[in-house]
Amino acid sequence: MDALVGQVVLAEIARHDWDSMTCGCMRSAAHVPQHLLAALSAPPPARVGEGWADSHVYIQSNLMAPAAATAGVVAAALADPLVPLVWRRSLIEVLCMLCYGEQDDIAEACQRAVRGCVWSLYEEIGSGRAVDAASYAFELLVCFPEERGRLAYFQERYRAHLATDLHAENFDVHSIDSP
């Protein structure tokens, strides 16, 4: 049975012509959103993106045609209160895979899709729910140079919510290059 998701996720799925995109398994990408919705009704898989993103939307660091559309759907899922909190880490990690992929043009399109969900990422950092989810959110926000000042503030204020390698003395957000 498909997970219950809000209208914003369903609308974002409907916005894209999945049939016209070829995914990593060489089929139409129409199954990608279907598999994501089905996956959301179970616990996240051990391997991030298994069954819906991995080998379909990305293969290792190589991005496939449906990557940007998938980034939009995942960003919508982060804003959806019906999506189980246990999925946040996995969804944010998939967004990192998409935004830091090897194909610059596709990765930039993914970043554009994610740019609208920055407050969901900051909320993850501030929530204190899970260090790994907050750390992935932090790493994703590094993609956006315009966020560096705010990110540095959150880095200090919510230090205890981040992995130690992301603490200010180990990671200076102002001295890094954009992806």
Q: How confident is the model at residue 3 (pLDDT cuts 50, 70, 90)?
A: low
**E strands present in the chain:** 58-59, 62-63
Q: Which residue type sits at 62?
A: N
Task: Measure CA of the first residue to CA of the last residue in the chain; give whole Å.
Answer: 38
User: The pTM is what?
Assistant: 0.93
Hey, what are 26's tokens?
A: 């060489």
Please determine, for residue 118, whether its predicted confidence score (pLDDT) is greater than 90. yes
Report helix, strand or coil for 24.
Answer: coil
pLDDT at position 177 is 73
Q: What tens digit of pLDDT does each residue of 48-61 get? A: 999 999 999 999 99
pLDDT at position 1 is 43
**Residue 103 to residue 61: CA distance in whole angstroms:** 9
Q: What tens digit of pLDDT does each residue of 18-74 get? A: 999 999 999 999 999 999 999 999 999 999 999 999 999 999 999 999 999 999 999
124 with 137: CB under 8 angstroms?
Answer: yes
